[in-house]
Homo-oligomer: A and B are copies of this chain.
Amino acid sequence: MKIAVIGLGLLGGSFALEFRALGYKIYGVEANEVHAAEALALGLVDEIVILEKITEMDVVLLAVPVDVLDDLVVTVLDLVTDNTLVFDVGSTKESVCNAVRNHSKRANFVAMHPIAGTEFSGPQAAFQGLFKGKVTIICEQKLSNKKLLDKLLKLLKPLEMRIEYMESSAKHDMHIAYVSHLSHVSSFMLGKTVLEIEKSEKSIFDMAGSGFESTVRLAKSSPKTWTPIFLQNKKHIINALDEYITNLENFKTLIKDEKSTEIHAVMQETNYIKTILDK
């Protein structure tokens, strides 16, 4: 089976590694020449090919930033054979689903979002094991050809992901705004706030503990990946941010007014997150 991976960053590169280790021949398509050379040197792919080569592939995986994805998925569906499985790994799903909705080869496409990643990016960030135990969400699965969807599930099986289905891509985008995109904004702005104070208060970072590192970890993420995600999921991210800011303002007022009982109660209720995350 010949698999093309378009975009050899953290996600594309890690999928390439996994599939290659399973014995499939992996063809990389990568616009960034430095990344292409790195991917080859790191053994993520067997070969670097031009996009047009995907006419010969059995599977095409799209792992590019979401602003490039919508046009690319149409081009890819135009090129591939009737039997080729095409799937993406973008963090937003409504836009890509809309882009292919009326395509004659819509059924060849599976809209997927693996909830896996690290704060690092590029081919060098790719590693085997990234997906183990992680959730991956498949949207609008009824619009995908049953046989090709089964092919994808079979391909993913050795990676030990937990497959979930979410019929509505719009609902996916709303949910993911809260449990992923909001965390990224929050982390970036926390990093920015502390970097700003650091300009006048040198060596403040000597005091940073593991708590700070944990909340600010996502602020190391790639702007190239995340700018288009924030823009595509604008509506839901703005809603989530509004609620988050309101909660921060209310908590600030409780502190200002020294409402110790209420502060304690809010934190205790939120401790419930333990039960949810540990289950």
Interface on A for B, CB 8 Å cutoff?
Answer: 115-119, 134-135, 137, 164, 174-176, 178-180, 182-198, 201, 204-221, 223-224, 226-228, 230-231, 234, 237-238, 240-245, 247-249, 251-252, 255-256, 258, 260, 263-274, 276-277
Contact = CB atoms under 8 A, between A and B. Distances in A.
Nearest to A220: B274
B193 A215 contact: no
Nearest to A224: B264
Total copies of the chain: 2
A200 B48 CA distance: 47
Contacts of A117: 209-211
Nearest to A239: B197
Nearest to A272: B195
B245 A215 contact: no
Contacts of A189: 244, 247-248, 251
B135 A216 contact: no
Contacts of A178: 193-194, 197, 201, 204
Contact of A245 (B214, B219, B245, B271): B245
A69 B274 CA distance: 28
Given A179-B212, A238-B256, A258-B231, A247 B193 contact: yes
B223 A264 contact: yes
Nearest to A201: B175
Nearest to A190: B186
Given A180-B211, A207-B115, A256 B227 contact: no
Given A183-B211, A196-B243, 11 more contacts: A117-B210, A178-B197, A179-B204, A189-B251, A195-B272, A195-B276, A214-B215, A219-B267, A219-B271, A230-B263, A241-B252
